[in-house]
Structure 1
Amino acid sequence: MSTAREPDLRPGQSAELLKELHILTREGKLNQDSRRKLKQVYHLHQFIDQLLRELPEQDGGPTIADHGAGKSYLGFILYDLSLKPQGKGRVWGIETRPELVARSRELAQRLGFERMSFLNISAADAATDEALPDQVDVVTALHACDTATDDAIAFGLQKQARAMVLVPCCQAEVASHLRKSKALSLSRTPLAELWRHPLHTREIGSQLTNVLRCLYLEATGYQVTVTELVGWEHSMKNELIIARHTGQKKRSAAQRLRALLAEFGLEGLEAERFPGLPDQ
C-alpha cells in the first residue's frame, strides 16, 4: 500500500480530486488497481499536455472542450495538472446526462476549480451554443459513443481547433450500412467477404469508421497520429487519434476517402459525416 505523499502523485496534485475519481481511497491510500488506473490517466494526460505546450502563448490561456465528458475525470485531471499551475485557461465539459453535469459542477465549485464549466448538451448542439467561444484550442472526446465522435470532429472543425484528441467507441453506423448492402456487395466484389459474417461486419465497420475519420481530418487540414491509449489488456476501446492543425488540406486524403466510400457502398455518408471535404 502507498499513501498520497508517495511519488506516484504529481507535485501539487489534488488528493481530494483523486478521491472523488476513486483513484485514492477516502484514507488517501493508493492500491495496485488504483495505481494502474492512475498510470492510464497520466498516459492520456501526457499526450494532451504536450499539445497544450505547443499552443502559441495567449493571455487567457488554452481552452479545452471535452465531449461526452461523463464524470469529467479527464477535464478535472487536465485542469488540475495543466491549467491550474498556469493560473489561466478554461475547460468546458459537454455531457447529455444532467445528473453528471450537476455532480461535476458541484465538485468543481468545492475544489475551487473556477475555470471549469459544464454544459448539459449534446456534442451535435454544442457548436451553436452561445456559452462556448467561437474558437477552442483543444477538443477531446474520450469514449464518445458511435457518431458522437463525428459530432466532436464537426465541432472541432467549426471551432477551428488547433488539436483534437479522440478515443472512438461503439462505432455502429458504418456497420449498419454494410449490413444493409451485404447481398449487393457480395455479388460485386470479393472484398465483401471481409464483412460477410456478423462479427466481421462489426469489426470491419469499426475499423473503417476510424480510417475514414483520419482521412477526413487530413483532408481538412490536420496532421494525424494513431496510437494506443492503454494496453489491450485494460480496454478494447483502445484507439487514440491525435490531430494537430496544420492548415494544409490534403486533396489526396479527400480522394482516398471518397474512393473508400465508393468501394464499400457508403457514398450516402459523405454529405452527413464529411461535409467539409474539399471539392473534387
Structure 2
Amino acid sequence: MTSKHPDTHRPKPGDRPSARAAGRSGATPPSPHPLADELRPGQSIELLKELHILTREGKLNQDSRRKLKQVYHLYQFIEKLLLELAQQVRAPNPTDDIRAYTSPAGLTLADHGAGKSYLGFILYDLFFRQQGLGHIYGIETRAELVEKSQALASRLGFERMSFLNLTVAESTESSRLPERIDVVTALHACDSATDDAIAFGLQKRARVMVLVPCCQAEVARVLSQHKALSLSRTPLAELWRHPLHTREMGSQITNVLRCLYLEACGYQVTVTELVGWEHSMKNELIIARYTGARKRASAERLRSLLAEFGLLSLLHTRFTSLPDNAVPPLLGEVV
C-alpha cells in the first residue's frame, strides 16, 4: 500500500549518510577530503585544479599552498564587504541611495588587472555562485589571459563572469560594462593603473574599492626631477635624495595621496597589511567604503602635500575629481 504522505526523511541526491545510518548498513562513512582543513566550505576542487592551485591528483605543493593562503586572506576581506552590501539591500527600509545603486540582477564587481583571475574565480565560486545573483567583470590587457579565463568560465558553467581585453583607463568609457559597479578591485595594478582604477570607481560610483597598489613610479620620477630644487628649499628633501629612498618615499607619498583623495571624494578609508604576503613589499591593502561624506580637510591636506613635494602637476592628471575647496559645504559633508 502506498503511503499518502511523502517521506520527509528521504535523502536528497548527493546527501551523505549519517554515521549512525552507515553503521546500521555496515557501510563505511565517507572520509573527508584530505585538504578539508585548508579549503573553504563549498570550494570547487575542479576549479582549483584548473587554476593549477591543486595538482591533477588534488594535492597542494608549497608554492600553491602559499598562493591559496594569499587569495583566501584577501577573500575574507572582500567577502565581509560583499555581505555588508547585500545586507544593506535587504534592509527593511533601504535608503533611496541604496535603491538607486542596486541592480535587480545583484551585486556587480570589476576586477582590474585580473591576470589569470584567481581572485575573480574564487569570489565567484564561493560567493556569487552560491548567491545565485551578481556579475563579475575581469579586466585585463593581455588578450591570451582573457581568452583562457573566458574559456574556463564556460567550462565550469560560471555564466555570470565576463572578461574584457581592455586597459583600466579604457574600461571607464566602455559600453560593455554597466553604468554602475558596486565593487572595484585592483590587485598589483602597476604604477598609475591603481589611480586609473580609482578614477574608474569614481566614474562608476562604486560603493566599495579594494586596492593593493604596486610599483608607484610616477611620483618617484617627479621627485627625482625636482630633487636639486627641493634640496635647496627644505631639509625634508633628504628623505628622497638617494635613488633607493626616492622609490620608497614615492611609494609612501603616492598611497597617502590616494587615501586623502578617496576621503575627499566621499569614502571612508582603511589601510591594513595583507598577512601571508611577507615575501612581497606590495602588501598594503586600501579599502574604501562610500559614505557620501566628503572631507574638505582631506582635500586641503592633499593640496598642501602636493605643493610641499612639488607635485602640483598631478592635480590635473590624477586628482581631477578633487572637490573645489571654495565650494560651500554640502549637506552632511564633514569639514
TM-score range, shorter chain: over 0.9
Question: Is residue 2:53 matched to residue 1:23?
Answer: yes
Q: In 2, are the aligned partners of 1:95 and 1:120 still within 8 Å (CA)? A: yes
Greater Cα radius of gyration, structure 1 or 2: 2
Counterpart of 2:43 in structure 1: which amino acid? Q
Q: Which residue of 2 aligns with 1:209?
A: 254
Question: Is residue 2:151 matched to residue 1:106?
Answer: yes
Counterpart of 1:72 in structure 2: which amino acid? S
User: Using the alignment, how far apart are the partners of 2:223 and 2:256 within structure 1?
Assistant: 15
User: Using the alignment, how far apart are the partners of 2:276 and 2:242 within structure 1?
Assistant: 27
Higher alpha-carbon deviation: 79-88 or 31-40: 31-40
Q: How many matched pairs?
A: 279
Q: Which residue of 1 aligns with 2:67?
A: 37
Higher alpha-carbon deviation: 151-160 or 10-19: 10-19
Any stretches of 5+ residues in structure 1 without a counterpart?
none
Question: Is residue 2:93 matched to residue 1:48?
Answer: no
Runs in 1 of length 4+ with deviation above 4 angstroms? 2-5
User: Using the alignment, how far apart are the partners of 1:106 and 1:218 within structure 2?
Assistant: 39
Q: Which residue of 2 aligns with 1:120?
A: 165
Work out which of the residue numbers 80, 85, 90 in structure 1 matches 2:130: 85
Work out which of the residue numbers 185, 201, 214 in structure 2 matches 1:156: 201
User: Using the alignment, how far apart are the partners of 1:234 and 1:241 within structure 2?
Assistant: 19
User: Using the alignment, how far apart are the partners of 1:188 and 1:5 within structure 2?
Assistant: 60
Q: Structure with the greater relative contact order (CA < 8 A, sep ≥ 6): 1 or 2?
A: 1
Any stretches of 5+ residues in structure 2 without a counterpart?
1-31, 90-101, 326-335
Work out which of the residue numbers 69, 76, 79 in structure 1 matches 2:121: 76
User: Using the alignment, how far apart are the partners of 2:228 and 2:47 within structure 1?
Assistant: 53
For residues 43-72 of structure 1, what are the alpha-carbon distances to aligned partners after superposition, in whole Å with 9 as ceiling and x for unaligned? 100110111111133531110000000111
Work out which of the residue numbers 274, 278, 282 in structure 2 matches 1:237: 282
Q: Which residue of 2 aligns with 1:97?
A: 142
For residues 102-151 of structure 1, what are the alpha-carbon distances to aligned partners after superposition, in whole Å with 9 as ceiling and x for unaligned? 01000000111000000000000101100101110000000000000000
TM-score (structure 1 length as normaliser): 0.96
Question: Is residue 2:227 matched to residue 1:182?
Answer: yes
Structure holding more strand per residue: 1
- SS of 1:79's equivalent in the other structure is helix
Deviation at 1:5, TM superposition (A): 5.1
Q: In 2, are the aligned partners of 1:4 and 1:15 still within 8 Å (CA)? A: no
TM alignment of 1:165-176, pairs within 5 A: 165-176=210-221
Percent identical:
74
Q: In 1, are the aligned partners of 2:239 and 2:249 still within 8 Å (CA)? A: yes
Deviation at 1:41, TM superposition (A): 1.2
Deviation at 1:250, TM superposition (A): 0.3
Work out which of the residue numbers 8, 12, 29 in structure 1 matches 2:42: 12
Q: In 1, are the aligned partners of 2:69 and 2:276 still within 8 Å (CA)? A: no
User: Using the alignment, how far apart are the partners of 2:34 and 2:107 within structure 1?
Assistant: 29
For residues 232-253 of structure 1, what are the alpha-carbon distances to aligned partners after superposition, in whole Å with 9 as ceiling and x for unaligned? 5332111000000000000000
Counterpart of 1:39 in structure 2: which amino acid? K
User: Using the alignment, how far apart are the partners of 2:80 and 2:148 within structure 1?
Assistant: 29
Q: Which residue of 2 aligns with 1:199?
A: 244
User: Using the alignment, how far apart are the partners of 1:67 and 1:13 within structure 2?
Assistant: 23
- SS of 1:165's equivalent in the other structure is strand
Q: In 2, are the aligned partners of 1:164 and 1:243 still within 8 Å (CA)? A: yes
For residues 4-27 of structure 1, what are the alpha-carbon distances to aligned partners after superposition, in whole Å with 9 as ceiling and x for unaligned? 652221222111111122221111
User: Using the alignment, how far apart are the partners of 1:243 and 1:274 within structure 2?
Assistant: 16
Q: In 2, are the aligned partners of 1:23 and 1:38 still within 8 Å (CA)? A: yes
Q: In 2, are the aligned partners of 1:3 and 1:30 still within 8 Å (CA)? A: no
Q: In 2, are the aligned partners of 1:3 and 1:29 still within 8 Å (CA)? A: no
Q: Which residue of 2 aligns with 1:141?
A: 186
User: Using the alignment, how far apart are the partners of 1:133 and 1:33 within structure 2?
Assistant: 37
User: Using the alignment, how far apart are the partners of 2:277 and 2:258 within structure 1?
Assistant: 22
- SS of 1:91's equivalent in the other structure is strand
